[in-house]
Structure 1
Amino acid sequence: MILGAALSGAISDRIGRRAVILYTLLIYSIGSFLCGLATDYWTLLLFRFITGFGLGGELPAASTLVSEISPIKSRGRNVIILESFWAWGWIAASMVAFLVIPAFGWRMAFFVGALPALFAALLRFKVPESPRYLEVNGKREEAERIVEELERSAGVESVKDDTPSKGIEKRPWYEEFKMLWKRENLRSTAVLWVIWFGINFGYYGFVLWTPSLLTDQGFDIVKSFGFTVIMCIAQLPGYFSAAYLVERWGRKPTLIVYFFGTAAAAWFFGHADSEMTILLAGCLLYFFALGAWGCVYSYTPEVYPTDVRGSGTGWASAFGRIGAFIAPFIVPILYSSFGTEYGFVLVFAVLSAAFAMVAIVIAIFGRETKGMSLRDTSE
């Protein structure tokens, strides 16, 4: 996912957002299908790498496209609603695990995972390219045609834009990466990399290890299908409330509240001592964490100009995946080093601190983007 996010972001600034979404969706689906054909551990690992590459590349490209094509007043909300389908995917995956695998085996689950390839055809013919991307890359006529179609479908009178085209020359990918660290983008890049690293570290730290840790603590509830479904459902109001608040409060206040909320929920979870408190803390944790995720995806494309928006979003996502890679190794070390009782508390104290630190960074260095027009170039 690290490689997919980094490469797809840079490529989307060169060939377009829609094309990258289409290709990464196909890569993901092909990888999932091949997983169902794997004959041993190493081939499965290879095919899972392909699947992860596609998924890692699709996520930042999709949020960038939706951000660029949405009206200012609903831009943040639209991206978060898009990201809420992650929760619906969790629920669908839970149903596949519960219904399909026992009846047809694990291979069939991977074949079902290949079905998103069918959406590629719909994407190809129904989803337009970002007019803003086309405009910046000198494709004025195509951009105007798409805008006119969108205005016509919305019942809005089309207004001819006679301003000069702002087409720019293509830059090598390393020049685009350097642009992220120039003065006008430096602060945004640094803040976003902290946000993405922190949320990935904290989120995957508890998602991947919580079932094992709770089972070791004697709470078998985490093995039940009902527990999984409840945790999945708890994500949805987190997304929807965040989608409402980013357009009412703004991006920065909403991010701060949801990251501090996640930190508090993680601390509470670390001190849960019964199945009821585990359920309550777990629901709060998923509510705030996924609300924060949605806000991060909506906020990231807004702070960059169009000419490096894909690269900036992709590199931030890629750097964040390093946190997702590190956390699963740190959690068991913390847990085993301080004993079963204190280790459990310590794990969630560390995860809580990670979320809280992100909130503090946003409060001090973050910029508000609500109601602001997207910039086109870095110059």
Structure 2
Amino acid sequence: MWSSFTRKTLLIIGTAWLFDALDVALLSFIMPMVKAQWHLEATQTGLLSSVTAIGMAFGAILFGKAADQFGRKNVLTASLVLFSLGNLALAFSPNYHWFLVIRFIVGLGLGGELPVAATYLADHFKGTLQSRLLILADSFWAVGWLIASVLAFFFANNLGWRGLLILTAIPVLFALILRSKLTDAPKITTKSPTLKTSLIANFNYQTILLWLTWLMVMFSYYGMFMWLPTILASRGNTLVTGFGYTVLITIAQLPGYFVAAWLMGKIQVRWVFIIYMLGTALSAFAFGQADGIPATIVFGSLLSFFNLGAYGTIIALTPVQYLPEYRGTMTGIAQGIGRLGAVIGPLLVGWLLDYHVSVNHIFTIFMMSLFIGALAAVFLPDRLNA
């Protein structure tokens, strides 16, 4: 039975994943609206997501390092403030180029949320409970995506993309109040290691494999899911119907997380990750070949089940690889490296669509990347510093 402290901490830290997903999902829903308003090419539309990922890559590293220096709680609060103010400014962006600049700033805050949140949980819990909490915290991602889907479904036509962005700023105030109740872990050292020192101390083949797994997870996730509403619409569905599909597909994420959390302690974490990556690869191929509504829902649901379960498992695997004094920095770097995949994925899909490459061929590329990530994890121990 979990203590009240454990449940409270999970709820508060889970908001990091909730707001991250809320933003990413909302961007995927408003992309068609922005594209239509400013008459963008598919490649330009893909850049809307990729510039966010670039900001997130820098944010993960900068805020991860700051968490080792100034404490997890303070940096978590700062990242949320930057993200929320950035999204408010985004709602008033006058043109495409200003939208890109502000999205980069929003990305800085978003990128800082997840590695610091994962580090906080790793500091306070150990063993199987730690792994389960990290995966369950990531399950808040599905909640955030569902909230974004509902907001888009009911308010997109009336509020437009600018109104939706303003609407999402409201719950941030509640999250700031919650985070004020967190208690930070004691500082490990009086002076945190520099970025260079952290890299030298932890740079080995296992770290490189960890970076590769992050790269493949984010390349596949952002490449597929940022374009999901657009792909559904291209198959003859209206935009609103696409939202309905996305809600159903997103619900499938929750059992994916819960099964992964249940598997913690029963088999090694890396093998849970490998199973989920292989399941995602096969589901991606099947989704690319899907023809008709039933097949789209079935294989899209399987894709969500496995891809998000893999995402949660790699989050559980990462912070425990490093000693506490390096944990924030190295977790941030790992996610920052992964964000490169989040940059490349949406851009690649946009470029391929501009050149009329079929959806099934695009999803075959993602299948291959997922196999590479699974293979890298075979040689990755559960704990680098064990």
| Pair in the same fold by TM > 0.5 | yes
Secondary structure of 1:116's counterpart equals helix
**CA offsets, 1:78-98, max 9 Å, x none?**
011111111100111111112
Q: Which residue in the other structure is 1:174 paired with? A: 196
Q: Which residue in the other structure is 2:19 paired with? A: none
Deviation at 1:219, TM superposition (A): 5.2
> Aligned equivalents of 2:76 and 2:300: distance in 1?
32
Pair 1:177–1:113, CA change in 2 (3 A): farther
Asked whether 1:366 is paired with 2:380, we answer yes
Asked whether 1:26 is paired with 2:44, we answer no
Asked whether 1:245 is paired with 2:300, we answer no
Deviation at 1:20, TM superposition (A): 1.1
Secondary structure of 2:119's counterpart equals helix
> Aligned equivalents of 2:360 and 2:222: distance in 1?
17
C-alpha contact (below 8 Å) 2:60/2:112 kept by paired residues: yes
Secondary structure of 1:247's counterpart equals coil
**CA offsets, 1:127-148, max 9 Å, x none?**
11124xx2x225xxxxxxxxxx
What CA RMSD, in Å, does the superposition of the two structures yield over aligned residues? 2.2
Pair 1:215–1:123, CA change in 2 (3 A): closer
> Aligned equivalents of 2:194 and 2:237: distance in 1?
53
Deviation at 1:59, TM superposition (A): 0.8
Q: Which residue in the other structure is 2:135 paired with? A: 80
Provide the aligned length of Structure 1 versus Structure 2: 330
Gapped regions of structure 2 (runs ≥ 5): 1-55
Secondary structure of 2:227's counterpart equals helix
Q: Which residue in the other structure is 1:137 paired with? A: 189
C-alpha contact (below 8 Å) 2:132/2:262 kept by paired residues: yes
> Aligned equivalents of 1:230 and 1:217: distance in 2?
17
Secondary structure of 2:226's counterpart equals helix
Deviation at 1:212, TM superposition (A): 3.3
Q: Which residue in the other structure is 1:270 paired with? A: 288
Percent identical residues: 34
> Aligned equivalents of 2:211 and 2:338: distance in 1?
7
Pair 1:39–1:273, CA change in 2 (3 A): closer
Q: Which residue in the other structure is 1:150 paired with? A: none
TM-score with structure 1 setting the length? 0.81
Deviation at 1:190, TM superposition (A): 0.7
Deviation at 1:122, TM superposition (A): 2.3
Pair 1:103–1:211, CA change in 2 (3 A): closer
Asked whether 1:353 is paired with 2:371, we answer no
> Aligned equivalents of 2:241 and 2:337: distance in 1?
32
C-alpha contact (below 8 Å) 1:5/1:58 kept by paired residues: yes
Deviation at 1:68, TM superposition (A): 1.6
Q: Which residue in the other structure is 1:120 paired with? A: 176
Asked whether 1:312 is paired with 2:364, we answer no
Q: Which amino acid aligns with 1:59?
A: L
> Aligned equivalents of 2:84 and 2:166: distance in 1?
9
Q: Which residue in the other structure is 1:56 paired with? A: 111
Secondary structure of 2:382's counterpart equals coil
> Aligned equivalents of 2:343 and 2:361: distance in 1?
19
Pair 1:95–1:212, CA change in 2 (3 A): closer
Pair 1:270–1:222, CA change in 2 (3 A): farther
TM-score with structure 2 setting the length? 0.80
Deviation at 1:248, TM superposition (A): 2.1
